Amino acid sequence: MEDKNIIQLYFERSEAAISETAVKYGKLCHTIAYNILYNEEDSEECVNDTWLRAWNTIPPNRPDILRTYLAHIIRNLALSRYRRDHAEKRSHAPDSPLHELAECLPDPEGSPAEAASMAELRQTLNAFVAGLEE
């Protein structure tokens, strides 16, 4: 189906517009998203979001070249997803070079059971010392 006909389907608010768009440009959009994200599920989600964005924006807009219009949408969605997933605060990058050794070093507090046991022992010793005469 030609782009003019697909765009006309969008203007008629026909759901066939989405299926025709997916048939003609689904592989292209998936490739663009996958080349940015390198994740199959995220790429598929971006493709679906592209169809929704096209559905919501085409009636006011009439793109001259549908392929370019869709490529622009999916590229922006994939880049936004990439930035969100790789933001510094969400990144799993180590804070320092010693971060890698954290698993090898013993925990100064010990296990939770040991910490509870130590707290109980501390409380018992403090109670005993408090009961002693000066």
Would you state the pLDDT for residue 37? 92
Q: What is the pLDDT of residues 3-12, one digit of tens each?
A: 999 999 999 9
For the chain, the first-to-last Cα distance in angstroms comes to 97
Would you state the pLDDT for residue 97? 62
Give the other-Cβ count within 10 Å of 58's Cβ: 21
Q: What is the pTM of this model?
A: 0.64
Q: What is the pLDDT of residues 80-123, one digit of tens each?
A: 999 998 886 655 555 556 566 666 656 665 667 777 788 888 88
Does 132 or 79 have the greater pLDDT score?
79
